[in-house]
Amino acid sequence: MTYTKTDAIRSLRPEAKWGYEDGKGFVIWEGPGTQPTEDELTSEINRLDTVYANEKYKRDRAAEYPSVVDQLDDIYHNGIDAWKATIKTTKDKYPKS
């Protein structure tokens, strides 16, 4: 995932109305709030990149967990302890960083 200045603006000022063009910067700013500086945008992009990288384990787990329907079926047929063992396998494969 590559975050952009648009992503940073949306993150920093989610309620604001604005227009931004690469190479030109802000072409309109209606707020609310103050217009973010280029340094603020760069810092926010770096923060978003860090959060995304640190949460890779969540995306990996989600892709590998059985569907909710299959998990419920597993609980019904094999009990909670068997279900926990199934989930633990994925959690152990993709530990929190």
Do 63 and 34 have their domain in common? no
What pLDDT sits at residue 25? Answer: 83
Do 44 and 75 have their domain in common? no
Predicted TM-score (pTM) of the model is 0.74
Do 41 and 70 have their domain in common? no
The confidence band for 1, taking pLDDT boundaries of 50, 70 and 90, is confident
Do 77 and 47 have their domain in common? no
Burial of 8 (0-12, 13-18, 19+ CB in 10 A): buried
Do 40 and 79 have their domain in common? no
Q: Distance between CA 93 and CA 40 in Å, rounded?
A: 36
Do 47 and 36 have their domain in common? yes
Check: CB of residue 20 under 8 Å from CB of residue 26. yes
Q: What residues make up the domain containing 76?
A: 57-93
Do 48 and 10 have their domain in common? yes
Total domains, the chain:
2
Which tens digit of pLDDT belongs to each residue from 16-48?
A: 999 988 888 888 999 899 999 999 999 999 999
